[in-house]
């Protein structure tokens, strides 16, 4: 079980007077791989954006605990939060501009270190260190041409996930990671994520509408609607909750 947790207290966010996030008290990361589910517009993506510092909350406290260290990340910016080991994959397809697949993987390894100005020697060492991991991912996901660009939506999605994993995060937030991927690639993504959770103690929260994936992969689930956490529990507890069924799945769907 990982030592990494995120806690939110009294976190609020409104757009034009409409409350889209109202999190009284929430702890993420206590149960290995966790799920965050809820209807469209529930506020799941917004919640991840608040945690990772992409947007700032109107009120409340967000704390990140990693290996016994406590960080107040309320109001911290994206880069600062990522440097603490808290990163996320994106719901929307990312474009990697003019970089090829292999180059953008290498860049994700080298870039964070550049902030400490390690110089060329360290950069080369870092690249070498990262090579086994990069090769493993290239092999696992069978990119058609690793030297070329990520062309399909699926390859871009995979590349975004792999770049995050190469950072060796302590906490990974995944926003609909496998939308548009074929089933075998989806299974592979989940396999490497679970492996990192088990072997490296990485905590994971996955947003997904694919409920089969959620029931199969997650040990604990948070259910969100109207900006609030409405139910939490094991997959069995959540899938049989009358409220979750009414608000999200529709009767008889579970």
Ligand X SMILES: Nc1ncnc2c1ncn2[C@@H]1O[C@H](COP(=O)(O)OP(=O)(O)OP(=O)(O)O)[C@@H](O)[C@H]1O
The 10 Å Cβ neighbour count of residue 29 is 26
Q: Is 41 in the site for ligand X (CB under 6 A)?
A: yes
Binding site partner of 242, from Mg ion, ligand X, none, Cβ cut-off 5-8 A by kind: none
H or E element in which residue 217 lies: helix 211-217
Which value, in Å, is the radius of gyration of the alpha carbons in the chain?
A: 18
Taking each helix axis from N to C terminus, what angle separates 101-114 and 153-166, rounded to the nearest 10 degrees? 30
How many residues belong to the site for Mg ion (CB under 5 A)?
Answer: 2
Considering only 44-52, 59-67, 147-155, 197-205, which stretch makes contact with ligand X by CB under 6 A?
44-52
Q: Is 89 in the site for ligand X (CB under 6 A)?
A: no
**What are the angstrom distances between the C-alpha of 249 and each of 32, 218, 225?**
24, 17, 12
Interacting residues with ligand X between 196 and 235 (CB under 6 A)? none
**String marking each residue 5-24 x if it binds ligand X according to CB under 6 A:** ----------x----x----
Kindly tell me which of 4 and 45 has the beta carbon lying closer to Mg ion.
45
How many whole angstroms separate alpha carbon 19 and alpha carbon 79? Answer: 26
Q: Is 21 in the site for Mg ion (CB under 5 A)?
A: no
Considering only 38-46, 108-116, 135-143, 152-160, which stretch makes contact with ligand X by CB under 6 A?
38-46
Task: Tell the burial category of 68 from Cβ atoms under 10 Å away from its Cβ (0-12, 13-18, 19+).
Answer: exposed
H or E element in which residue 207 lies: strand 203-207
Binding site partner of 75, from Mg ion, ligand X, none, Cβ cut-off 5-8 A by kind: none
Kindly tell me which of 5 and 91 has the beta carbon lying closer to ligand X.
91
Q: Which residues contact Mg ion by CB under 5 A?
A: 45, 91
């Amino acid at each position: 079980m990982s030592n990494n947790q995120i806690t939110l207290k009294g976190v609020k966010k409104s757009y034009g007077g409409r409350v889209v996030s109202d999190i009284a008290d929430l702890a993420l990361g206590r149960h290995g791989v966790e799920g965050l589910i809820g209807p469209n517009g529930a506020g799941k993506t917004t919640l991840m954006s608040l945690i990772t510092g992409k947007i700032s909350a109107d009120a409340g406290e967000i704390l990140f605990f990693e290996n016994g260290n406590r960080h107040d990340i309320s109001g911290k910016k994206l880069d600062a939060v990522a440097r603490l080991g808290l990163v996320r994959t994106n719901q929307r397809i990312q474009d990697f501009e003019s970089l090829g697949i292999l180059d953008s993987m290498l860049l994700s390894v080298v870039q964070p270190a550049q902030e400490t100005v390690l110089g060329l020697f360290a950069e080369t060492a870092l690249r070498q260190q990262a090579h086994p991991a990069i090769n493993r991912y290239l092999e696992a996901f069978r990119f058609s041409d690793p030297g070329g660009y990520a062309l399909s939506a699926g390859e871009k999605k995979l590349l975004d996930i792999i770049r995050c994993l190469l950072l060796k995060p302590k906490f990974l937030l995944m926003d609909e990671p496998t939308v548009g991927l074929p089933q075998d690639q989806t299974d592979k993504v989940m396999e490497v994520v679970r492996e990192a959770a088990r072997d490296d103690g990485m905590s994971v929260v996955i947003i997904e509408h694919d409920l089969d994936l959620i029931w199969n992969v997650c040990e604990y689930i948070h259910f969100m609607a109207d900006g609030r956490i409405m139910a939490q529990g094991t997959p069995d507890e959540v899938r049989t909750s009358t409220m979750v069924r009414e608000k999200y799945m529709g009767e008889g769907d579970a």
